[in-house]
Structure 1
Amino acid sequence: MLHLIPASLHRQLYRVAHRLRGLWLRLRGGEVHGCSIIARDATGRVLLVRHSYGSGWWAFPGGGMHRGEDALAAALREFAEELGCTVTDPVHLATVEEMFHGARNVAHIFTGLIDGEPLPDGREIIAAQFFAPDALPPDTAPNVQRRLALLTPTTG
């Protein structure tokens, strides 16, 4: 049903929702659960995306988990929704705790090889690009380096 909303209006709604969620989390605190995928191509480059809302930084694709949802299922769902493709042989790297708008974010981090061509949905994701891990853009989210450090020679 949401695909019936023009993309430009959808992006505006994401911005408003992001601000409201941040305000709610700052007031309420507590805990949120999310997931993220470090998708790699055959040459070892990593996929970073830009969201239509928030900081505008390059970040790993991912998102929130539904109540009771398996972390891997959530990561693959978010990836497919946002980029129209998936990853093969996903591996769970770690579960990390980070602060997110004043709440504790429990983030499940996965990696795998990309399967297909990433096509940003133009609504939530406005850009997707591969980068060499040692040549990331200067406007990269602070957690990208910490998450990249989770890769080992056998996983990345």
Structure 2
Amino acid sequence: MNRFLQFGWSLRRRLIGLLRIRTRGVKVMLFNSRGELLLIRNGYGDTGLFVLPGGGVGRREEPLAAARRELAEEVGIAGADLRHLGDYKTVAEGKRDRVSLFHGSSDQPLRIDGREVSEAGFFPPGDLPQAASPATRRRVREWVAGGPFGGAW
């Protein structure tokens, strides 16, 4: 199944870049009661990197609803109280994307499907895994500094 996901992700990415489609996405900085940050490894794309959970915003979907949906789909966390931190722009992966960043907390147990998300866990912000993505590291630095939130992803 991972090969199918990888192929679909790659094809979608190429089409979006070729057609110069503007997309909207969300990312979530979710902390547990110990102050640890939730990071995931996707089962498609660059599978070696730990990133913040998130994904695309559907047509007619509000970013907050998308953030909640993505948490439920990716790690089985429902009903987390999320707050908007800021909006970012990115041209990564050949697309023009606006990413809305949210933060919240939860101690609900993680449930991953092993396909879309291959690994998930909570990490101290000062001791992220070596494979944490550069963008994830930038968001953590912004969080520790208290902002500002927004600009380039």
| TM-score calculated relative to the size of structure 2 | 0.87
Equivalent-residue separation in structure 2 for 1:88 and 1:109 (angstroms): 14
Whether the 8 Å contact between 1:87 and 1:115 is mirrored in structure 2 is no
Match 1:61 to one of 50, 53, 57: 53
Question: Structure 1's 154 and 55: CA in aligned 2 closer, same or farther, altered over 3 A?
Answer: closer
Q: What do you get for the CA RMSD once the two structures are aligned?
A: 1.8
Equivalent-residue separation in structure 2 for 1:79 and 1:39 (angstroms): 9
Equivalent-residue separation in structure 1 for 2:13 and 2:108 (angstroms): 33
Equivalent-residue separation in structure 1 for 2:119 and 2:54 (angstroms): 14
Match 2:21 to one of 10, 30, 33: 30
Equivalence map 1:7-86=2 (5 Å): 9=1, 11-56=2-47, 57-86=49-78
Structure 1 stretches (4+) deviating beyond 4 angstroms?
152-155
Whether the 8 Å contact between 2:14 and 2:94 is mirrored in structure 1 is no
| TM-score calculated relative to the size of structure 1 | 0.86
Structure 1 unaligned residues grouped into runs of 5+? 1-8
Identity of aligned residues (%): 32
Question: Structure 1's 153 and 43: CA in aligned 2 closer, same or farther, altered over 3 A?
Answer: farther
Using the TM superposition, give the Cα deviation of residue 152 of structure 1 relative to its aligned residue in structure 2, in angstroms.
6.0
1:33 aligns to what SS in structure 2?
strand
- 2:150 — aligned with what? none
Whether the 8 Å contact between 2:112 and 2:118 is mirrored in structure 1 is yes
Using the TM superposition, give the Cα deviation of residue 79 of structure 1 relative to its aligned residue in structure 2, in angstroms.
0.8
Structure 2 unaligned residues grouped into runs of 5+? 148-153
